[in-house]
Structure 1
Amino acid sequence: MKLLTAPGRRAGFFTGILTGLLTLAGCVGPDVPFGMPQPTAPATASRPSVDNRPRLPATGEVVGTGETRAALLLPLTGEGNAGRIAAELKNAALLAMDDVGLNALELVVKDTGGTTEGAFSAAGQAVAEGAAIVLGPLFSANVRAAAPALRMSRTPMIAFSSDRAVASPGVYLNSFLPQGVVQRTLSYAAGQGVRSVVAILPEGVAGDIAEAEARRTMLASGGEVTAVARYAYDNMSVYEAVRTVAEALRSADAVFIPDGGSSPATIVSTITEAGIDIAGKKILGTGQWTSANLADPVLQGGWFADTDQTRVNTYKQRYQARFGAEPSLTSALAYDSVVLVGNIAKGGGGFQRNAIETPVGFNGYTGLFRFLLNGTTERGYAVYEVREGRAEIIDAAPAQFNRAN
């Protein structure tokens, strides 16, 4: 049996659920450069906002000279990985401002310290200073803390948490909600004839989310999740999980293993070592598989959904050329959000809900996405097949949304 370890290189669609933050681990280096110094707004003078309300001078680092003010709330002095990912998000915002034009926005970067108190204070400052929209915070608890001040002033927020429970009308999440990638993988598989699926999932909240969405998707597609087993990160628990669903595995069309790291290969190897023939059964995963060893023979032919890596790699190359380090996928969310907000501001119509919730959505480095009425995000994912140790697209991400909210 292969050794099972908890995934550590890409805290992607599942391992970041408890904090509501995607991709804090592994790919963020110990020292994240902040880029070139940016001009700051004068500290002594105020100017009217775009709706002619007086506003206070900006508190925080100011980037850009546009008439529309947006606040970016980040845990710049937060503990551990929080501060490092905040540095990446800030860098991504600087790169976006270069692209959208410094005259499109006045972007005010505010430090939350990674705490609920800091998020509440920063949101209150943003409102008092006349910010037309707020980007961030990161953590779900901080989104909850910041939301009341913004809701009272009807200031929209685009946060980066992956906890859909904190979304609400006017509080949008530009993140990778784990339900979406599960739905894409299983709906594609169902379209290829998969009708019965056994799900082998990690214990905890991540497994709960994966199970609920897997059941919903298969039911909607005319199929069924015939059995579910849970494991902890030790080989004995994997053995017991496989044993409990052995009979269902023998008759299933597919096995769904959404976790990453060594989990997919360990689980599939355990299935075969238990004497269960998986020939003809499809192995299904999620974008977490990018942290797995795709060269492992047991994963060949497996399918999983993920963001379009061609776009992501283009972003990473640009970021590295500018800041000298490879960024995480999470940072691209800040880039896309700043470009989105800058383009809306240049249009002159303000941040009305119909502008943010446009059914056609937006296209960015993270792919096609749109904000729904309840504040959650719908994304267009590609489906990959593992071939000769590499992930190759077998069903491209959609170029446009073809149905209304």
Structure 2
Amino acid sequence: MLSLLSRARKSMGRIAVAVTTLALAACQPTAPSRGPSIDTSVPVPVALLVPAGSGQASDELLARSLQNAARLAISDLGSIKIDLRVYNTAGQAGQAQSMAIKAIDEGAKIILGPVFAQEANAAGVAAASRGVNVLAFSNNPDIAGGNVFILGPTFQNTAARLASYAVRQGKSRIMIVHDQNQAGLIGRTAIEQGVARSGGSVVAVGSYEFSQNGVVQAAPKIAAAAKANNAQALFLTADTAGALPLVSQLLADSGMGPAATQFIGLTRWDIPAATLALPGVQGGWFALPDPNLYQQFQSRYQAAFGEAPHPISGLAYDGIAAIGALVKQGKSNALTGSALTNGAGFVGVNGVFRLRADGLNDRGLAIAQIRNNQVVVIDPAPRSFGGAGF
């Protein structure tokens, strides 16, 4: 699964890579995070922007899954009524902007979605002047802020959780290993910040050109730097679709690995499931949403719709859960920025989460380790804010 949702892809040798492009609209949404007044005694109009209409089967599947998850969440709200209105963006920024304007003209009080960073940014710009907030499915921090809140798990949140756990386990001397691309640089910054906040030290930084040959050439140098700086952990930004299979194996072959140096992954090492069989990731740590809650969602979704949910469809459920919890309070200002960013947060299928004033989010994540090709949770996800894990 892509670390940052994007459409740009290119292949390099035998490494199947996914490259993120963060070329966003020049105008970022900067309007204050206010929101329209609502009448909670009647169904609240909510616009759901999905990428249907692009002609790509993957977008149609994602659109259907997001819509199904949103409707499943609505069914769980009981007496709270949501008037869900679905708009197709074709995954394009221009159409997302048009659909956002149309949705607001037709009475939408909040926008849920869209998915891709460029279209979420465009929708946010369109909605800003109308005082409507956007809960986007993106995890790209560059579009967050003003009236745009991102629901996707962020590198910052993941890095902070993993770094905190590593320091508590005595792995405070950390070396960062990152791809030489935009996603890798964003990941590096997130790890640096997370380690600093956790009281650890970044003792070295290694990187590699985003190609098969680049990884092969860099791996021995990275291993040597880790040993020279007595690194207790290597924090990798690579994902399965990119360099992870090769870089983890080459570093393990160079004497790295859990017996000597703990591997930590910034991305999900359980998606796809085949990743769990990679020799280089055995013993590695990574973060994931509360697996028990998500498995319950998967089972319910499968029973209701006869197919497995898309991996990010739970974000649509979470968005509706947050909106429903606020509407339940019966206040006309339930969908303003101040209401959306209440410190107690919300509970969704991915666990507890809260929206921040800067448009980013905090999510309760579990720490898992890969043992014998299996995921083993070694530190459970927190069930509330303020406790262990935050």
Q: Note whether the superposition's TM-score is higher than 0.5.
A: yes
- Find the aligned partners of 2:257 and 2:89 in 1 and give their Cα distance: 53
Provide the alpha-carbon RMSD of the alignment.
2.7
Structure 1 residues 274 and 303, CA gap change in structure 2 (3 angstroms): closer
Decide which moves more: 161-170 or 339-348: 339-348
Q: Which residue of 2 aligns with 1:252?
A: 231
The CA deviation string for residues 12-34 of structure 1, in whole angstroms up to 9 with x for no partner, is: xx253677xxxxx9xxxxxxxxx
Report whether the alignment pairs 1:386 with 2:370: yes
Report whether the alignment pairs 1:401 with 2:378: no
Alignment TM-score, normalising by the size of structure 2: 0.82
Decide which of 187, 192, 204 is 1:215's aligned counterpart: 192
- Find the aligned partners of 2:257 and 2:367 in 1 and give their Cα distance: 25
Decide which of 336, 361, 365 is 2:345's aligned counterpart: 361
Q: Which residue of 2 aligns with 1:16?
A: 5
- Find the aligned partners of 1:98 and 1:275 in 2 and give their Cα distance: 52
Give the share of equivalent positions with the same residue, in percent: 31
Cα pair 2:112 2:135 within 8 Å, conserved = yes
Cα pair 2:268 2:287 within 8 Å, conserved = no
Equivalent runs, 1:340-351 vs 2, <5 Å: 340-349=322-331, 350-351=334-335
Report whether the alignment pairs 1:231 with 2:170: no
The CA deviation string for residues 5-63 of structure 1, in whole angstroms up to 9 with x for no partner, is: xxxxx33xx253677xxxxx9xxxxxxxxxxxxxxxxxxxxxxx9459xxxxxxxxxxx
Report whether the alignment pairs 1:160 with 2:140: no
Structure 1 residues 336 and 393, CA gap change in structure 2 (3 angstroms): same
For 1:72, give the aligned amino acid.
L
For 2:322, give the aligned amino acid.
L
For 1:352, give the aligned amino acid.
T
Superposition deviation, residue 287 in structure 1: 4.2
Report whether the alignment pairs 1:327 with 2:309: yes
Superposition deviation, residue 189 in structure 1: 0.4
Q: Which residue of 2 aligns with 1:73?
A: 49
Structure 1 residues 273 and 397, CA gap change in structure 2 (3 angstroms): closer
Superposition deviation, residue 253 in structure 1: 0.7
Equivalent runs, 1:108-127 vs 2, <5 Å: 108-127=85-104
Structure 2 portions without partners, runs of 5+: 9-15, 17-36
For 1:75, give the aligned amino acid.
P
Structure 1 residues 160 and 288, CA gap change in structure 2 (3 angstroms): same
Cα pair 1:104 1:343 within 8 Å, conserved = no
| Partner SS for 1:206 | helix
| Partner SS for 1:199 | strand
Report whether the alignment pairs 1:193 with 2:170: yes
Q: Which residue of 2 aligns with 1:61?
A: none
Structure 1 residues 195 and 17, CA gap change in structure 2 (3 angstroms): farther
Superposition deviation, residue 380 in structure 1: 1.0
- Find the aligned partners of 2:248 and 2:336 in 1 and give their Cα distance: 49
Superposition deviation, residue 203 in structure 1: 2.7
Structure 1 residues 156 and 298, CA gap change in structure 2 (3 angstroms): closer
Q: Which residue of 1 aligns with 2:247?
A: 267
Q: Which residue of 1 aligns with 2:23?
A: none
Superposition deviation, residue 343 in structure 1: 3.0
For 1:273, give the aligned amino acid.
D
The CA deviation string for residues 195-254 of structure 1, in whole angstroms up to 9 with x for no partner, is: 222222223112111111111222233332222233356543222222222332212111
- Find the aligned partners of 1:253 and 1:378 in 2 and give their Cα distance: 27
**Based on CA coordinates, which of the two structures has the bigger radius of gyration?**
1
Report whether the alignment pairs 1:316 with 2:307: no
Superposition deviation, residue 311 in structure 1: 1.4
For 1:270, give the aligned amino acid.
L
- Find the aligned partners of 2:352 and 2:94 in 1 and give their Cα distance: 34
Alignment TM-score, normalising by the size of structure 1: 0.79
- Find the aligned partners of 1:180 and 1:271 in 2 and give their Cα distance: 26
- Find the aligned partners of 2:150 and 2:368 in 1 and give their Cα distance: 25
- Find the aligned partners of 1:287 and 1:309 in 2 and give their Cα distance: 16
- Find the aligned partners of 1:243 and 1:133 in 2 and give their Cα distance: 51
- Find the aligned partners of 2:255 and 2:171 in 1 and give their Cα distance: 22
Q: Which residue of 2 aligns with 1:135?
A: 112
Superposition deviation, residue 344 in structure 1: 2.2
Cα pair 1:259 1:289 within 8 Å, conserved = no
- Find the aligned partners of 1:196 and 1:186 in 2 and give their Cα distance: 10
Superposition deviation, residue 300 in structure 1: 3.3
Q: Which residue of 2 aligns with 1:150?
A: 127
Q: Which residue of 1 aligns with 2:268?
A: 288
- Number of equivalences: 353
Decide which moves more: 167-176 or 254-263: 254-263
Structure 1 portions without partners, runs of 5+: 1-9, 20-24, 26-48, 53-64
Superposition deviation, residue 78 in structure 1: 2.1
Cα pair 1:66 1:106 within 8 Å, conserved = no
Superposition deviation, residue 372 in structure 1: 0.5
- Find the aligned partners of 2:168 and 2:318 in 1 and give their Cα distance: 31
Cα pair 1:308 1:382 within 8 Å, conserved = yes
